[in-house]
Chains A and B, each alone.
Chain A
Amino acid sequence: MVDLVWFQLLSAVLFVIGLYGVMSRRSAVLIVMSIELMLNAVNINLIAAASHMEGTGKFSNFDGQLIAIFIITVAAAEVGLALAVILRMYRNKSTVNVDEINLMKW
């Protein structure tokens, strides 16, 4: 069995790529994609941890899987919401560039 640390490494790399994407992209669509990446990085981490948990048998502890299912559900809802917001944004401002969406700043 592959060591847990490799999974965690993969998860961390994916997460940081996602974080970089959120911070550096100007397009709202790309930011949403980066957020998805970060969520999935967390999913990998959780499932790997769950499958390595010690117990009476394999997959005896379902906590990680459960939370991953939740995250997938929330991510689906979030994408639906985010895309709707982006659509409205585009209709109003004819752009999805977040730098131009700055009505809430001081």
Chain B
Amino acid sequence: MEWAWLIPIFSFAAAPLIVLFGKYLPSKGAFLSILAIVAGFGGFWVVLISWMGADPSTSGCFTSENTHLLTCDYERSWFNAGRIGDVGSVTLNWGILIDPLTIAVLGLVTFVAMMVQIYSLAYMKGDPRFGWYFAIHSMFAAAMLTLVLADNFLLLYVAWELVGICSYLLIGFWHERAAAREAAKKAFIVTRIGDVGLLIGILLIYREVGTFSMLDAFEAVRTGAMSEGVTTAAAILLFLGAMGKSAQIPFHVWLPDAMEGPTPVSALIHAATMVIAGVFLVARTFPIFEAYDADPLLIVSIVGLVTALVAATIALVATDLKRILAYSTISHLGLMMLSLGAFGYTAAIFHMMAHGFSKALLFLGAGSVLHSTEFQETGEMGGLRKVMPITAIVFSIGALSLGGIPILAGFWSKDEILVAVSDNRNVTFIVLTLFTAMLSALYMARAMFLVFFGPLKSQNEHAHESPGAMVVPMILLGVLALGFGLISFNWPGSYGGIGTFVYFKHAHDFHFEIWLGAVSIVLAVGAFIAAYLIYVKRSVSLENTRSNFFGILKVIENKYYFDEVYQWTIDRVVLVFSRSIAFFDRAIVNDIIVNGPADVTRKLGIAIRVHVTGHVYTYTLAMAIGSIGMAIFVWLRVA
């Protein structure tokens, strides 16, 4: 386990190698990137197996007082500022922290990144910047893996920003297009706003604890060395960073635009890297959130619930396939946050993984459709199951899984969330969560039926199934989306379900609330049947409903005017403020303070240069008068 730091190093190494030597290598060096991530995936299994075999006596391992989990920490000194032991000297460490949370996310990230990279081999074929794409992809995965393994806030922050810059480069990958450039900037700037909160939070903790180590921070919270007010403030600031990265309202606006990048990039961003970083951060620093009265968790759950609900309604009316999926991601990220906020630690991580596999699958499926039909609007599609059957099947598996149809992965994880919410939050929460779950089923069903069912349009008759490199990753992800829920049960033998693997303080066996399960099954299946009647059979018409709810519909179709409000704020507040600052800079600083003295000197020079006549006698006269003046002065002084 001490060698787990090699997992991101492989991918980190692959990136510069591809950039420098890619053009001399077969497939422009893309295989390096894939080899690196396969090595990372292998590393995940090694870590998992050695963690299973470890006990508190293993070197570096102990049972954490904060999580009651077997935790392994390997820390090394990074650098010292000042002499060690002196007052004011600072020692910065870096290291890796391995606990079940790390292992779970490690598996998700390496597997999805691996699938996406194999898929990209075919999807990006012929792109002029093929090698560059894989280099950044590698870097992205490496940054995310570092973030997951980091045992201190400083390393986490470095990885966090690396994830940000890689997402910027990938979203703006086709930077010849203005929309891609804008989307890349938007993603970078909006997440940056949250990052400021994260940075302040980290520095606040550093000021209180005197080290960046997370374990020390948790210890300080547990022993009460960090006061309640500071802990709450730190938790809220950290959550601000998580909101930016995980696209929680009001920072969600960048994610739908992020689809301007190549579709496999969306799959990676939405499933394995970037957006889950925020959820991961909250889970990782859960002891800080949970300390004292756990007030920050109420904020987390409210933000999560609002995000889930708002994004789900937008996904319901969006017409662009990738946009539906993007809002679906926001909605599910909201559910994960809600679950964390409702003490559903296990449920959130479980859902993160189930959603990760399903959403990667859906995006790869959408990419396959786009690759083949060149269309992105669902209105241009329909009946595609006839020409691309495998894509249709795996996409449907993903949609059914996220929609929460029983036995698929998404059903079990959603159920865990519902149990957590009903146990720890009041009835409003559970009702709205169920409603969101129903909406989730409805929009997934809508997307699935609109794209793959109904009559085939003539413009799509030439469409064909995608090549093997794209289909195989989709099938593998499909198998996981189908069967991943199995890990949540108690199995005969030593394995007691995911609740005994990833948990916070209390291990719990798999349990299933009959009434909640029944309600959620009825809602999900009902939603799928309703969508089938509306979009395939067309036996139910929405025209009346549409006109009855015209006002609400218009608001939702305009995405609740978030972008418009932000644009207005930027135009009317930020830019006006900036302009007044710029005016101050130009008028006061530049014109008066800087150019002023220069101007005075120049004017003075012009005024007195007429005395430089070039005639010797003027100079002599001036000299004589000067001498006489000085003589008189001296004489007066003496006298």
Contacts and interface: CB of A to CB of B under 8 A. Distances in A.
A102 B615 CA distance: 7
B125 interface: no
Interface residues of B, number: 11
A22 B615 contact: no
Interface in B608-625: 609-610, 612-617, 620-621, 624
A5 B178 CA distance: 95
Nearest to B615: A99
A14 interface: no
B610 A98 contact: no
A23 B621 contact: yes
A23 B614 contact: no
A105 B616 contact: no
A95 to B, nearest CB: 14
A22 B624 CA distance: 11
A23 B612 contact: no
Contact of A105 (B613, B620, B621, B624): B613
Contacts of B612: 104-106
Contacts of B613: 102, 105
B153 to A, nearest CB: 66
A19 interface: yes
Nearest to A25: B617
A102 B618 CA distance: 12
A92 interface: no
A23 B612 CA distance: 16
A100 to B, nearest CB: 9
A24 interface: yes
B620 A102 contact: no
A96 to B, nearest CB: 12
A23 B614 CA distance: 13
Given A106-B609, A106-B610, A98 B616 contact: yes
Contacts of A105: 612-614
A31 interface: yes
Interface string A67-106: 0000000000000000000000000000000110111111
Contact of B617 (A23, A101, A102, A104): A23
Q: Which of A23, A99, A104 has the most CB of B within 10 A?
A: A23
A22 B614 contact: no
Contacts of A99: 615
Main secondary structure of the interface of B (DSSP, over half): helix
A98 B615 CA distance: 7
B617 A22 contact: yes
B620 A23 contact: yes
Contacts of B609: 106
Q: Which of B609, B612, B617, B621 has the most CB of A within 10 A?
A: B617
Contact of A102 (B610, B614, B621, B624): B614
Contacts of B624: 19, 23
A31 B616 CA distance: 9
Nearest to B609: A106
Interface in B407-432: none
A106 B624 CA distance: 22
Nearest to B616: A98
Contacts of B621: 23
Nearest to A104: B614
A104 B616 CA distance: 11
Contacts of A22: 616-617, 620
Contacts of A104: 612, 614
A101 B621 CA distance: 18
A6 to B, nearest CB: 21
A22 B609 CA distance: 23
A79 B406 CA distance: 115
Nearest to B618: A23
A98 B610 CA distance: 18
B614 A19 contact: no
A101 B617 CA distance: 12
A31 B620 CA distance: 11
Interface string A2-24: 00000000000000000100111
Nearest to B621: A23
Contacts of A19: 620, 624
A42 to B, nearest CB: 12
Nearest to B613: A105
A65 B636 CA distance: 28
A89 B624 CA distance: 25
A105 B617 CA distance: 13
B601 to A, nearest CB: 15
A84 B621 CA distance: 25
A31 B623 CA distance: 15
A34 B624 CA distance: 14
A31 B621 CA distance: 13
Nearest to A22: B620
Contacts of A24: 617
A98 B621 CA distance: 15
Contacts of A101: 614
Contacts of B610: 106
B615 to A, nearest CB: 6
Contacts of B616: 22, 31, 98
A103 B614 CA distance: 7
A19 B610 CA distance: 23
B411 to A, nearest CB: 91
Nearest to A28: B616
B627 to A, nearest CB: 10
Contacts of A102: 613-615
Nearest to B610: A106
Interface string B574-590: 00000000000000000
Contacts of A103: 614
A51 to B, nearest CB: 23
A23 B615 CA distance: 9
Contacts of A31: 616
Interface in B590-639: 609-610, 612-617, 620-621, 624
A19 B628 CA distance: 12
A102 B612 CA distance: 10
20 contacts: A19-B620, A19-B624, A22-B616, A22-B617, A23-B621, A23-B624, A24-B617, A31-B616, A98-B615, A99-B615, A102-B613, A102-B614, A102-B615, A103-B614, A105-B612, A105-B613, A105-B614, A106-B609, A106-B610, A106-B612
Interface of A: 19, 22-24, 31, 98-99, 101-106
Which 6 pairs of residues, A with B, have the shortest CB-CB distance?
Answer: A105-B614, A102-B614, A23-B617, A106-B609, A98-B616, A22-B620
Given A103-B614, A104-B612, A104-B614, 10 more contacts: A22-B617, A22-B620, A23-B621, A23-B624, A24-B617, A98-B615, A99-B615, A101-B614, A102-B615, A106-B612
